[in-house]
Structure 1
Amino acid sequence: MHELLDPVGSSLAGRTLVNLTTAGSTQARETAGWAAKIGTVYLDGVILALPEAIGTADAMLLYSGPKPAFDEHQATLRALGEAGTVYLDEDHGLSALYDMSVLSIMWGVLNGFLQGAALLGTANVKATTFAPLASTAINVAAGYVSTYARQIDEGRYPAADATVATHLGGMEHLLQESQALGVNTELPNVFLELARRTAADGHADNSYAAMIGQFRKPSA
């Protein structure tokens, strides 16, 4: 973006700049600092929609930055997605953080589906045959999100369903099955390693949400 805007930066003074390209939160905050130096009001935004959904009720767009700037240009911004235009916060990096967080969910779900499709493929089960059950499983897993979110915010992880220890047993079977059938074991290994660390930290009898502690730590 800076390759395009740096040469014309002086012409942006006194204007509002809205950026809807994908970037990280650090980049968004750095761009806000750059904009402030040249006298430009900056809104960072993300598009959570496919290109064909832009301008329809299915489009969701998130914005962060100065609230007065969002309010001033809200009518224009809503033209890209009337119902799904959301202002988040003054922190310029928050929209990018939401974007990365949503993408992590998407890739996590899709990678889980691909692992399952690879396993079933060894028995000549087509991915299209697996797809309806996979969709049901995804919906079931989504049902845990609200409960686990409350537990994460409260810092308490009562096991109303399965414990981490129970999940560990299933993960070990997934790894063994993947090894035996000759499919990729990287994803099952990640599952298992995170669960083992969580149990070692004293959360074997807690809910799956207790694994948040592992995700909050930097990688070794």
Structure 2
Amino acid sequence: MDTEVSVIGLGALGSALAGAFLSAGHSTTVWNRTRAKALPLVARGAVEAASPEAAVGAGPLVVVCLPTYDVAREVLSPCAAGLVGRTLVNLTSGSPAHARDAAGRARELGVRYLDGAALAAPSWVGRPDSLQLYGGPRPVFEAHRGVLAALGDPVYLGDDPALPAVHDIALLGLLWSALTGWLHGVALTGADGPGGGVSATAYTAVVGRWMPTVGRLMGEYARQVDAGAYPAGGFPLDQHLMLMGLLEHAGELRGVESGLPQAFLGLAGRAVEDGHGADGYARLIEYVRGRAGR
């Protein structure tokens, strides 16, 4: 289905968004302050708008991807009248407060608004597994789901436009935590010593077999967190703490950075000291939240 869409902001991510719309067969109008960034897209069939106002007027769906919400506001303010009755999808990175503020201004103007987060590097945009998060009125999302699917997997989080921003940074935190844990494992298994000298590729093959178990544990612990009850299930916190100590010791013997296991030991050690050694690992949510012991 050919649906007209305008993309304002052609940085690396914005250019990838516009390119994905073109690849999906959508008539795409683009605008960027630096006109040279539009040329590769024009060569692929995009129409370059002479101004943000012209881009807004080119179709019913306007996608914005600019460096900050302040920049987005500056660019879009002269377009306020033209945006009325259209749908604005804001994929600019920012805080939840920025998202709510932008949604409030759009509502006052009579603009249909979705806030979003593209959880993908530019080279991944357009892949079916490229996660794209959206928040705002469900009817607005459903009306444009098919077009937004050109960017990847469109996931609707709820009415609150701040939801994508919160999920964006939380999921990045998970990414960094997981990748840092993986790098620690690469360093530990690859270092000299008994059982060492393992290549990163070989270790990662085993990690791939382990990750489904991690996913299952997340699901189980999520239910415990929601219920506020943390049964050990045969693997209590005091046992976790003992194994964390072994991780730290193994790293010290091989000269591996110890900050990560020390962070584990700090949280779990506090919980065990507070008498929660017989509870399950999910008990640590109370410490991550910063509420315990106050």
Which residue of 2 is the match for residue 73 of structure 1? 144
Q: Classify the secondary structure of the residue corresponding to 2:287.
A: helix
Taking the aligned partners of 1:96 and 1:49, their CA distance within structure 2 comes to 14
Q: How far, CA to CA, are the matches of 2:251 and 2:130 in structure 1?
A: 38
Q: Give the unaligned 5+ runs of structure 2.
A: 1-67
Contact kept? 1:122, 1:181, Cα under 8 Å: yes
- Alpha-carbon contact 1:12-1:39 (below 8 Å) kept: no
Q: Is the 8 A contact 1:21 1:46 kept in 2?
A: yes
Paired residue for 1:48?
Answer: 119
2:209 corresponds to which of 109, 118, 136: 136
2:82 is equivalent to residue 11 of structure 1 = no
Give the equivalent residue in structure 1 for 2:220.
147
Is the aligned partner of 1:27 residue 2:98? yes
The answer to whether the Cα contact below 8 Å between 1:109 and 1:138 also exists between their aligned partners in 2 is no
The C-alpha deviation readout for 1:160-191, integer Å capped at 9, x for no partner, is 13111000001111112222322211111100
> Take 2:211 and 2:75, find their aligned partners in 1: how far apart are those partners?
47
Bigger helix share: 1
C-alpha distance in structure 1 between counterparts of 2:165 and 2:73, whole Å: 20
Does residue 120 (structure 1) correspond to residue 193 (structure 2)? The answer is no
Contact 1:63 1:95 in 2 (8 A): yes
Cα distance in 1, alignment partners of residues 162 and 221 from structure 2: 25
- Displacement of 1:132: 1.3
1:190 aligns with 2:258: no
Q: Measure, in 2, the Cα distance between the counterparts of 1:187 and 1:26.
A: 31
Q: 1:134 to 1:68 in 2, by over 3 A?
A: closer
Greater RCO between the two (CA within 8 Å, min separation 6)?
A: 1
Normalising by the residue count of structure 2, what TM-score does the alignment of the two structures yield? 0.67
Matching of residues 52-67 of structure 1 within 5 Å? 52-67=123-138
**Other-structure match for 1:91:** 160
Query: Over residues 102-134 of structure 1, what are the superposed CA-to-partner deviations in whole Å (9 max), with x where a residue is unaligned?
Result: 222222211111111111222232212212122
Q: Give me the TM-score of the superposition, normalised by structure 1.
A: 0.87
Matched residue of 1:110: which SS?
Answer: helix
Q: 1:191 to 1:80 in 2, by over 3 A?
A: same
Question: 1:56: how far off?
Answer: 3.9
Larger radius of gyration: 2
Distance in 2, matches of 1:30 and 1:136, equals 44
**Residue ranges of structure 1 left out of the alignment (5+ in a row):** none
Q: Which residue of 1 aligns with 2:278?
A: 205
Contact 1:32–1:92, Cα closer than 8 Å, also in 2: yes
Correspondence for 1:109 = 178
Amino acid in the other structure paired with 1:51: P
Instruction: Note closer, same or farther for the CA distance 1:160–1:36 as it changes in structure 2 (3 Å cut).
Output: same
- In 2, distance between residues paired with 1:198 and 1:187? 17
CA RMSD of aligned residues (A): 2.3
Q: How many residues align?
A: 217
Amino acid at match of 1:91: D
| Secondary structure of residue in 2 paired with 1:73 | helix
